[in-house]
Structure 1
Amino acid sequence: MAYALSDDLRRRLVVADEMGRPCRPSARRFGVSSLTSFEKVNQWFQEGHIEPVRQVGDNRSARIESHLDEVLALIDATPDIAMTKLAEYLEEVHGMGVSKVRSGGFLIFKKNVARKRAIGF
C-alpha cells in the first residue's frame, strides 16, 4: 500500500540532488525507490514545493449512486439483467458513460454493504 513520505525525507532527497548526488544512490541511501526520488526532485523543480500530492480514491461511483433507487428498481423489474444492458440504460436515459465493470462493481459493493448492515457489522 502506498504511503506518504515525511517532509524531512522529501527535503533530503531534494537537497541531495542539489548537491549533485544522482537520484538512484540517494534513493538507495534513504530507502525509497529510484522512481520516488525522481518524482520528488521533479516536483520540486517543476512546482516549487515538496508537499504530498493528494491521493484520490473513487470519484465516479457517486454518479451511479445518485440514480441508485432507479437502478435497483430496474434490477427488481428485470432480475436477470446483464451489466451491459444496465450500462446501456444509464447511457440512454442519463447520458452517463459507465462501463459494465464499473456498474457491476458498484452494485456488488452496495450489496455487500447492505448485507453487512443486516448482519450487524
Structure 2
Amino acid sequence: MARPYSMDLRDRVVAAVETDGLSCHEAAKRYGVAPSTAIRWMQSFRRTGSVSPGQMGGHKPKRLTGAHREWLIERCKAGGFTLRGLVAELAGRGLRVDYRSVWVFVHDEGLSFKKNTRRSRTGPS
C-alpha cells in the first residue's frame, strides 16, 4: 500500500515556496514531487496551517448490525437461502450490501446452508 510523503519533505516544499519565493512548480521540480502535489500541499498549508497527511484507510464499521443482524440470523436459520438471495432480500428491506459482506457475515456466524442434492442422499456408489 502507498505511504504518504514524509513531513520533512512536505515542510521543505512549503518553506521553498513561502520563504525562498519559488513557485509550486519550481519547488516541486527541486524536491522531485509532482507539481499537483506541491499545489495541494500549499493549498492545505494556506487553509489549515499544516501539511500533515490525512488518514489512510481505517476500519469501516459493519452494516449488518442491530435489527438487520437479528433478521438475517433468523432468516438463515429458517434454511433454503442463497447469498445472492439474501443480498436481494436485504435490498428489499432498505439495506444495500455487497455479496462479500453477506458471505463474511454468514461465515463469521457459522450459518451455512448446504442443499441436500440427490447425489449426496444416495451415498457412495
**TM-score exceeds 0.5:** yes
Q: Which residues in structure 2 correspond to 1:76-87 (within 5 Å)?
A: 77-82=79-84, 85-87=85-87
Q: Secondary structure in 2 aligned to 1:62?
A: coil
Contact 2:87/2:102 (<8 A) preserved: no
What residue is the counterpart of 2:52 in the other structure? 51
Correspondence 1:36 to 2:37 = yes
Structure 1 length normalisation: TM-score? 0.62
**CA distance in structure 1 between the partners assigned to 2:42 and 2:57 by the alignment:** 22
How far off its partner does 1:41 sit?
A: 0.9
Correspondence 1:103 to 2:98 = yes
Q: Which residues in structure 2 correspond to 1:19-30 (within 5 Å)?
A: 19-30=20-31
How far off its partner does 1:46 sit?
A: 1.1
**CA distance in structure 2 between the partners assigned to 1:80 and 1:87 by the alignment:** 9
How far off its partner does 1:113 sit?
A: 8.0
Q: Which has the higher helix share?
A: 1
**CA distance in structure 2 between the partners assigned to 1:69 and 1:87 by the alignment:** 15
What residue is the counterpart of 2:123 in the other structure? none
Aligned letter for 1:46?
R
Correspondence 1:90 to 2:85 = no
**CA distance in structure 2 between the partners assigned to 1:64 and 1:56 by the alignment:** 20
Q: Secondary structure in 1 aligned to 2:98?
A: helix
Compared CA separation, residues 110 and 11, structure 1 to 2 (3 A): same
Give % identity.
24
Aligned length: 107
Uncovered stretches (5+) of structure 2, i.e. residues with no partner: 110-125
Structure 2 length normalisation: TM-score? 0.60
